[in-house]
Structure 1
């Protein structure tokens, strides 16, 4: 009988949505972090519940063919790095099909996964934590939750970000780590960087020296100071310009977006454009399109040239203001902007096509009700959470047919899964 601390030899039969190996032993399901499908290992029980347990790998007896050789990941932000790149694509594809079947009761066969096969150095934004050390030290969380560890080369960040982190470390500036909490880097395809210092107050030890260090870098076009006002969030609501410009130009399609330190913008632009291209090529032309949860307008503006009319709905005031600026700058007159909650505003408007890109918790019940009571000819659902996507598809399946499902490999080396689902109204 297994108890906490027990060790046994087990084989993983699958990898779940958290990247945990699934092992069955003595009628228990044991979830083992970092274990791959088909792998045999000596496992130690860490926690024990009535129907399942959590274990850790003591020693790998027979490695999986999917295991990346010669690497050991220690960062929580790279929780699938131990799996080979191509096998990550297969894992996400299978997980997508399995999740939709299990939760929605719908059997689907996905399309080829959307990827640019760039598995590292793809992030145009990275946020580091300031560690509790006198000389400034930037770190990320350890994969086992033991706290922060110094990072000199983050494989998911682009080369420019890693260069600037190296410059900051080499400066050995003495800082008040109780005040300076984070440093965020936003970069673009022109190899420019906007650097944001996140602190609990506007002045602290080391601020002036850090500004001088960063100003010497030609790639740094702007430095901002963001005041952290909520411990539950990285960024606060107020930012001050310390040097240069407060925005950085990010290109998506034919448009250039002036992104601030607080703007939400796609982190892996080349891959999300592949999803936008699928939507644009699939949607009927000259239709009235509603883009709910439109953000700064990246989807809506990208699709606007194919639509007769585009209505974009967004509740966040900063994102809404940027979309207003983009509409004015580019003179996109057949786009209408509505500030408000999608589930409320959609009750007052009609459209032929609906594009939805909701937050992780999926669609609000009121929006689902509207989609059922006033069906759209076509729906394009971009999801960042497989479980809430499957839940919503279950609610919509009597009104819509699933035409195609595209897994999107937006964040290689992680268990994050993006998905595009195309639905058509049932006749």
Structure 2
């Protein structure tokens, strides 16, 4: 009988939706991180329930031709870096199709995936955790999500972030790791950087020395201090400017987006702009557009030059404020920014086109119920979770037909599943 602690020899027969190897043994399905289908390994069982289990690789006895060795494969934030990029694309297409069919009962053949084929150094926002050591070291969690590993570079972070990471690791600053908890970096295509120190208190050991050193870094547009007020969240509600300003700009189309340390903005700008352009080409000119869950308005602003009107709906006040600043900066009278919950305000709105870019938990049931009664001709659904997308599409397809499902390879080397779905009124 299989028990926790047993060591088995198994062959992975599949890669699941989290990029884990799937091993079948004694009527159990064992999920193993870091194992590719076709590979054989000695596996230690770490968790078991009635039918499923979790295991870790002790020794790889047969390697896949799709395996790539990389120093960052120990990090949970790049849980598929051991898989070659072409297989990552194939995996995402297959998992998206299977998820649509299993959860949404939607049988749709995906013909293409959106990617710019840049597999590293693409993230413009990164958060690193302060190690529990007297001199400042930054780290990321391992595959288990429990242990921090010190890093002075990160394969997914852009060059500017890696420059600052290296600088911090080379300058020993005495700090209190019980108060300084994280450091976040937000960069742009101009190689500028906004640095946010995240601490439980306004004053902590090393604050002054760290600030002095960070100011010396070229192209630092701002340094902020965010007060962590909830152990379950990285960022707290309050940020204070220590240097420069709490603002960084990023070009989208012909405009510059304004982004603060707490406002939402896309992490891989070149790829999301490809999706925005695809949306733009699918919408006729002079259409009335509602952009729900709009963040700082990047989609709506990108579409505003060809639309008759764009109404943005967002409930995060920092993002709303950024969107209003951008609207005023460019004197965009045809753009309206509404501070409200999408599921509530949608009852009072209607338009030709609806764009939704909800958080991971997808659309609220009452939002979908209302949408089904409206006269939208098209819906563009940008999703960051294939399961909730499939669930929502099962409801939306009561009144809309799916025109296309396009997986977006936004985050190479991760199991994140971004998708664009285009729907049209039946």
TM interval, shorter chain, is over 0.9
C-alpha deviation, 1:47, in angstroms: 1.9
Over 3 Å counting, the alpha-carbon distance change for 1:323 and 1:146 in structure 2 is closer
In structure 2, what is the equivalent of residue 199 of structure 1? 199
Over 3 Å counting, the alpha-carbon distance change for 1:260 and 1:97 in structure 2 is same
Alignment of 1:25-424 (within 5 A): 25-69=25-69, 73-424=73-424
C-alpha deviation, 1:304, in angstroms: 1.3
Provide the secondary structure at the position in 2 that maps to 1:305: coil
After TM superposition, the structure 1 stretch with the greater mean CA deviation from structure 2, 200-209 or 359-368, is 200-209
What CA distance in whole angstroms lies between the structure 1 residues aligned with 2:171 and 2:151? Answer: 15
C-alpha deviation, 1:28, in angstroms: 2.1
- In structure 1, the gaps of 5 or more residues are none
Over 3 Å counting, the alpha-carbon distance change for 1:329 and 1:214 in structure 2 is same
What CA distance in whole angstroms lies between the structure 1 residues aligned with 2:128 and 2:44? Answer: 33
Aligned-residue CA RMSD in angstroms?
A: 1.4
Provide the secondary structure at the position in 2 that maps to 1:306: coil
C-alpha deviation, 1:342, in angstroms: 0.8
Q: Give the conservation status (yes or no) of the 8 Å contact 2:356–2:381.
A: yes
What CA distance in whole angstroms lies between the structure 2 residues aligned with 1:113 and 1:175? Answer: 45
What CA distance in whole angstroms lies between the structure 1 residues aligned with 2:50 and 2:227? Answer: 46
C-alpha distance after superposition, 1:157-212 (max 9, x if no partner): 11111111111122111111111111111111111111111111111111111111
What CA distance in whole angstroms lies between the structure 1 residues aligned with 2:239 and 2:74? Answer: 33
What CA distance in whole angstroms lies between the structure 2 residues aligned with 1:50 and 1:173? Answer: 50
- In structure 2, the gaps of 5 or more residues are none
C-alpha deviation, 1:373, in angstroms: 1.8
C-alpha deviation, 1:117, in angstroms: 0.8
C-alpha deviation, 1:375, in angstroms: 4.3
Q: Give the conservation status (yes or no) of the 8 Å contact 1:71–1:82.
A: no
The alignment's TM-score, normalised by the length of structure 2, stands at 0.97
Q: Give the conservation status (yes or no) of the 8 Å contact 1:378–1:424.
A: yes
Q: Give the conservation status (yes or no) of the 8 Å contact 1:11–1:39.
A: yes
What CA distance in whole angstroms lies between the structure 2 residues aligned with 1:62 and 1:155? Answer: 26
C-alpha deviation, 1:71, in angstroms: 5.3
Q: Give the conservation status (yes or no) of the 8 Å contact 1:16–1:95.
A: yes
What CA distance in whole angstroms lies between the structure 2 residues aligned with 1:357 and 1:111? Answer: 22
C-alpha distance after superposition, 1:333-384 (max 9, x if no partner): 1112221111111111111111000110000011110121224211000000
What CA distance in whole angstroms lies between the structure 1 residues aligned with 2:111 and 2:152? Answer: 38
What CA distance in whole angstroms lies between the structure 1 residues aligned with 2:298 and 2:87? Answer: 30
Over 3 Å counting, the alpha-carbon distance change for 1:72 and 1:39 in structure 2 is farther
Q: Give the conservation status (yes or no) of the 8 Å contact 2:377–2:425.
A: yes
The alignment's TM-score, normalised by the length of structure 1, stands at 0.97
Over 3 Å counting, the alpha-carbon distance change for 1:71 and 1:259 in structure 2 is closer
Q: Give the conservation status (yes or no) of the 8 Å contact 2:259–2:296.
A: no
Q: Give the conservation status (yes or no) of the 8 Å contact 2:380–2:421.
A: yes
Provide the secondary structure at the position in 2 that maps to 1:226: strand
What CA distance in whole angstroms lies between the structure 2 residues aligned with 1:149 and 1:26? Answer: 35
Provide the secondary structure at the position in 2 that maps to 1:120: coil
Q: Give the conservation status (yes or no) of the 8 Å contact 1:375–1:399.
A: no
Q: Give the conservation status (yes or no) of the 8 Å contact 1:174–1:206.
A: yes
C-alpha deviation, 1:21, in angstroms: 0.9
Q: Report the number of matched residues.
A: 426
What CA distance in whole angstroms lies between the structure 2 residues aligned with 1:343 and 1:58? Answer: 48
What CA distance in whole angstroms lies between the structure 2 residues aligned with 1:174 and 1:222? Answer: 22
Provide the secondary structure at the position in 1 that maps to 2:305: helix
C-alpha distance after superposition, 1:277-307 (max 9, x if no partner): 1110112222211111111100111111221
C-alpha deviation, 1:70, in angstroms: 6.1
